[in-house]
Copies of this chain bind each other. A is one copy, B any other.
Amino acid sequence: MKQVRVRLVVAFDGTCYQGWQTQKSGQGVQELIEIALRRLFPGAGPLHGSSRTDTGVHALGLVAHVDIPVDEWRMTPRKLVLALNAHLPEDIRIFKASRAHPGFHARFHAAGKEYRYRIWNAPAMNPLLTRMAWHLPRSLDVAAMRQAATHFVGRHDFASFTSNPGYPRPTTVRTLTACEVRRRGPEITVRIVGDGFLYRMCRGIAGTLAQVGLHRISPNDIPSILQSKDRRVAGMTAPPEGLVLWRVHYPRPATAAPPDSDASPADLE
């Protein structure tokens, strides 16, 4: 049976979900999108996501792919976005749909990902960010956090920054191309870009940077924490509500879609 491979850019408020994948304990975002897809295309295959985000973590740029039987494929990608969103709860949105190369794989071809972790650093929490940031009332030393962040950039074994993954990984070595700490008033954002991330690695880095900001860990301790390859040596795991999967990058050839009049990047912009 001939199929059309479709790529989706997915955004969700993770507050009410057990992450991307459905768990015994609750519903995942993936399952709800699959249900919506099958209401439009009964023969739609499984949905493959770029990332298995954890319970409570948010996304603005998760990428997923799905195969749809060619005889059921009747709408433009722009119409697909509207139709899918009409069948999804308000806290899950499809930002973009486009036809992908038949060999494109959202997870295996992902070349890099960007996460952002938000901290609200003031005595009282910002009531507009309750579900979207980690509240740390004690004043953080952002200069120390920035100094610590530079030690994460590059190729390192991040075993000290991942919780028990539940599934084995051939290696815990990853390369970060950016780890930046930005401050705008009481709002602190940690931006982390890398070729791949271990289970809870971003939250391990964010939690460790917070403890540097509280002067419980020195910026100069980061290299030895990395070398120890021991989770107990690094700082705490930051809570999920501050984390957003911001963007997933693919190398050009894998993302090149067949010509499609309605698949312009202007769909989002």
Interface positions of A (Cβ within 8 A of B): 11-13, 58, 60, 78, 81-82, 85, 90-95, 122-128, 130, 132, 139, 185-186, 244, 266-269
Contacts and interface: CB of A to CB of B under 8 A. Distances in A.
Contacts of A122: 95, 268-269
Contacts of A85: 124
B269 A124 contact: no
A123 B60 CA distance: 14
A150 to B, nearest CB: 25
B244 A58 contact: no
Task: Count the copies.
Answer: 2
A60 B126 contact: yes
A185 B268 CA distance: 9
Given A90-B125, A93-B126, A93-B127, 12 more contacts: A11-B124, A11-B127, A11-B128, A13-B128, A90-B130, A91-B127, A91-B130, A93-B125, A94-B124, A122-B268, A122-B269, A186-B268
B94 A127 contact: no
Contact of A128 (B58, B81, B94, B123): B58
A133 to B, nearest CB: 11
Given A60-B126, A123-B81, A124-B94, A269 B11 contact: no
